[in-house]
Structure 1
Amino acid sequence: MAAGDLGPADGPALRVIGRARTPWGPEDCPKNIHRARERGAPAILEIDPVFAPALSGLAVGQPVIVLYWMDRARRDLLVQAPRHVDGPRGTFALRSPNRPNTISQSTVTITALDLRAGSVTVDALDCFDGTPLLDIKPWLASVDLPPGTAD
């Protein structure tokens, strides 16, 4: 179900920090990070040189959360009926890229790091080649696991 015109996208402005380099296009992109890992194709996070100093302190083997903008996804779907669930669900109850703000995230592992080139290789990513990157954050069990969950 489409929402029609949701009005202007007022609010905070986002800064693109780089682009994701993946082997995926519209015809073959995995539906989620689990499927991307199954295909065994690493991804490269190409960071704009102005943001390269922000990579300092990251390390190979470290898990990170990557936030990216699904720039080709629809922004007008409030209720969706994906094949893998029993009926229509609200967008906020799904991990679909089609949402009011097409921000997606994946928790991935750094497999290579080149600080001078502003390049971070990760184990996988489930987005089209050239997808805009919004942020990279360290994944920390002490912060990112829900309360009462063992790591």
Structure 2
Amino acid sequence: MGDRPEIRAGEVALGHDPGDTPDAGITFIGRIRSPWSRGDCPKNIGRARETGQGARIELAPEYAQALTGLSVGQPILLQYWMDRARRDLVMQAPRHAEGPRGTFALRSPNRPNPVSVSTVVITALDPEAATIDIDAIDCFDHTPVVDIKPWLETVDAPPA
């Protein structure tokens, strides 16, 4: 898995990498172009918005028609694969919390399947070039895109 960060006190790793035995295949539909790399990436989408730095989604050309119906100003659910995250941690020791927590109790990218999701806003759209500019993102440059869905208030907002 490349340069894997050290385990912090209280963290527990599996004895294997779940990515070594996949159950299903995922097709990456494009890449995110962001200004971020290891060491300077915001920890979440809220912090990413505070920087004022936007990002771009570059889809594979064959997905250009799939942008039909999207528009500038529209929020979308962007699902992306944190390809440089650890996949073997079941307990993590986040710096922002008192004591270790289970992976499923955190929004950390370190998880068995490092799928992240953020609600982002379309700031520019070029269907011919298969690109979407977005208001912000909290991932490294060239992060693979898994899927894009429209954010719908009647479906995606939790009940009052």
TM-score scaled by length of structure 1: 0.95
Deviations 1:71-130 (A, max 9, x none): 000000000010111111100000000000000011000000000000000000000000
**Map of 1:102 onto structure 2:** 114
- 1:40 deviates by 0.5
Q: Counterparts of 2:22 and 2:127 in 1: how far apart (Å)?
A: 35
Runs of 4+ residues deviating >3 angstroms: none
Pair 1:23-2:32 in alignment: no
Pair 1:48-2:60 in alignment: yes
Pair 1:2-2:13 in alignment: yes
Q: Counterparts of 1:27 and 1:94 in 2: how far apart (Å)?
A: 20
The within-5 A match list for 1:70-149 is 70-147=82-159, 149=160
- 1:58 deviates by 0.3
Aligned length: 148
Q: Counterparts of 1:60 and 1:143 in 2: how far apart (Å)?
A: 20
Structure 2 portions without partners, runs of 5+: 1-11
For residue 50 of structure 1, give the secondary structure of its aligned residue in structure 2: helix
Structure 1 portions without partners, runs of 5+: none
Pair 1:66-2:78 in alignment: yes
Q: Counterparts of 2:97 and 2:129 in 1: how far apart (Å)?
A: 42
TM-score scaled by length of structure 2: 0.90
Q: Counterparts of 1:92 and 1:145 in 2: how far apart (Å)?
A: 21
% identity of equivalent residues:
60
